Amino acid sequence: MAYRTYINDHEWLGNNEYSKEIFDELKRQGCPFDKEWDVFKEPFEVKDLDGLVKATERHLMHLYDARPKLLDSLGIFTNIKNGDNRIFTEDQLTLRLQEFTNYGYLFYSVNLLKYVGEEGKDWEFYWERDKESKELVCHYRLINDGKCIFKAY
C-alpha cells in the first residue's frame, strides 16, 4: 500500500513522498505522527499556514539543489524543446501540463493553497518587513473559517 498525504481531502504530495522540512513543520505545530509518519486518530488541523507554505518552499528548494532537473519531472519542456515526441506530442501538451501541475514537485506549495480554498476567503497573503534584513517578506495565513486539515496514512 502506498503512503499518501492529504490536505482537506485532496491528495497533496506524491505517492510515498516524505519531506523532512514539511514533516518537521507539522511536528512543530503539534501533528501527532506515529513512527511510520501516519496520522490515524484524528486529522490534524494546521493553524500556521505560513509555516507550512514556507516549509513546502524549503522542501522544493532542497529538491532543486539536489537534482535541478527533478522539478520538470515529466520533462515536458525539455522534450518539446528537443523535439522528442516519443513520450508525448505537442497535441497532448494540455494533458501533460495538467498532469504536471497536479503531480509535479514544482507545484506542491501552489496546490497546498488551492486545497485550502480561495484566496481572500479562506486564506490570504500579506507583506511584512523582516526585522533583521529589512526586506519585505510574503506570509500566508488562514482567515475567516479557512481550514487546512492534514492527514497521512
| Domains of the chain by residue range | 5-152
141-142-147 Cα angle (round to 5): 145
Q: What is the pLDDT of residue 147?
A: 96
136 sits in which H/E element: strand 136-142
Residue partners of 121: CB distance under 8 A and separation at least 6: 143, 144, 146
Residue 83, pLDDT score: 58
The whole-number pLDDT of residue 42 equals 77
pLDDT at 145: 95
pLDDT one digit per residue (tens) for the chain, 153 residues:
578 888 999 988 878 888 899 989 999 999 888 777 777 667 889 999 999 999 998 888 888 777 766 655 555 555 555 655 555 555 565 677 677 787 777 888 999 999 999 999 999 999 999 999 999 999 999 999 999 998 888
Q: How high is the pLDDT of residue 50?
A: 94
Cβ atoms 22, 52 nearer than 8 A? yes
Task: For residue 108, give the C-alpha cell.
Answer: 506542491
- Residue 102: what are its φ and ψ, rounded to 5°? -75, -35
